[in-house]
Every structure is written in structure tokens, then in C-alpha cells.
């Protein structure tokens, strides 16, 4: 199960339990909408309560990332799991965005918000 939230240029997703393909499709639909009407977005994935994901989710994530390789600004992943940390770093192969793993929600949000501030 997932919960999603969004505001201009940001999509937040929290995963609870197993991450399934219908959950991922819900995420994709929201991101596609945001990209279409706002351009590149930042993502916040809270995976601290995720217990696993299905193989079809992993495949879909690769496909979606390759399709949208230039559509993300920053991607913050909240987790303390080393396997998920490794897979987050691996996902950088498919996207131009900066990907950083955090264990603190406030730190992740601060980092994402910094991408929205105009350069001086």
C-alpha cells in the first residue's frame, strides 16, 4: 500500500508493507500528470515501512526511469535498509537526477526544497 502527496514540483510517496505493481502504477500516473503540467519534479520516497516489493515493480521501475531519465530534479529516498540504499544508488544509472538516501525526513525535505530555490 502507498500514500501519495504532491505540491508544485514535488511528489511524495510512502510505502507500507509490500510495494506492488498497482501501487507503482498509481505513483506513475501522478508523476506523469505532474511532469506534463509542471515539467521536471523532485521525488521523495519514504521506504522505511516497506517490507518488500514484487519483481514486476522492479522491472517497471527500470522501464519508467529510462522513459523519464531527464524528468526528475532530485530524488530523496528515506530508508535505513542497506539493500534499498544500494538499489537507490544503482537507479542513478537511469536518471540524470541527484539521488540521495536519508534516514531523517526533515533532512530529506530540506535537501529537496533547496533544489527549488533560485540560484544566486
| Structural domains of the chain, count | 1
CB 44 within 8 A of CB 35: no
For the entire predicted model, the pTM comes to: 0.87
Q: What is the pLDDT of residue 52?
A: 86
Alpha-carbon distance of 50 to 38, in angstroms, equals 29
Count CB neighbours of 9 within 10 A.
17
Count CB neighbours of 19 within 10 A.
23
Assigned C-alpha cell, 48: 522505511
- Cα 10 from chain centroid? 10
* CATH code of the domain covering residue 61: 3.40.50.10600
70: containing domain = 2-116
Neighbour-count burial for 96-115, b at 16+ CB within 10 Å, e otherwise: ebebbbbeeeeebbebbeee
Q: What is the pLDDT of residue 120?
A: 45
Per-residue pLDDT of the chain (120 residues; tens, 9 = 90+): 999 999 999 999 999 999 999 999 999 999 999 999 999 999 999 999 999 888 898 889 889 988 999 999 999 999 888 776 656 666 666 788 888 889 999 999 999 999 775 544
Amino acid at each position: 500500500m502507498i500514500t501519495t502527496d504532491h505540491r508544485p514540483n514535488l511528489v511524495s510517496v510512502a510505502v507500507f508493507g509490500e510495494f506492488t505493481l498497482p501501487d507503482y502504477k498509481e505513483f506513475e500516473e501522478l508523476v506523469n500528470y505532474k511532469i506534463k503540467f509542471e515539467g521536471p519534479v523532485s521525488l521523495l520516497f519514504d521506504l522505511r515501512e516497506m517490507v518488500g516489493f514484487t519483481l514486476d515493480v522492479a522491472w517497471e521501475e527500470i522501464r519508467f526511469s529510462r522513459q523519464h531519465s531527464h524528468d526528475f530534479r532530485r530524488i530523496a529516498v528515506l530508508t535505513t535498509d542497506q539493500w534499498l540504499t544500494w538499489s537507490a544508488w544503482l537507479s542513478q544509472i537511469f536518471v540524470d537526477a541527484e539521488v540521495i538516501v536519508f534516514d531523517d525526513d526533515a533532512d530529506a525535505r530540506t535537501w529537496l526544497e533547496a533544489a527549488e530555490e533560485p540560484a544566486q
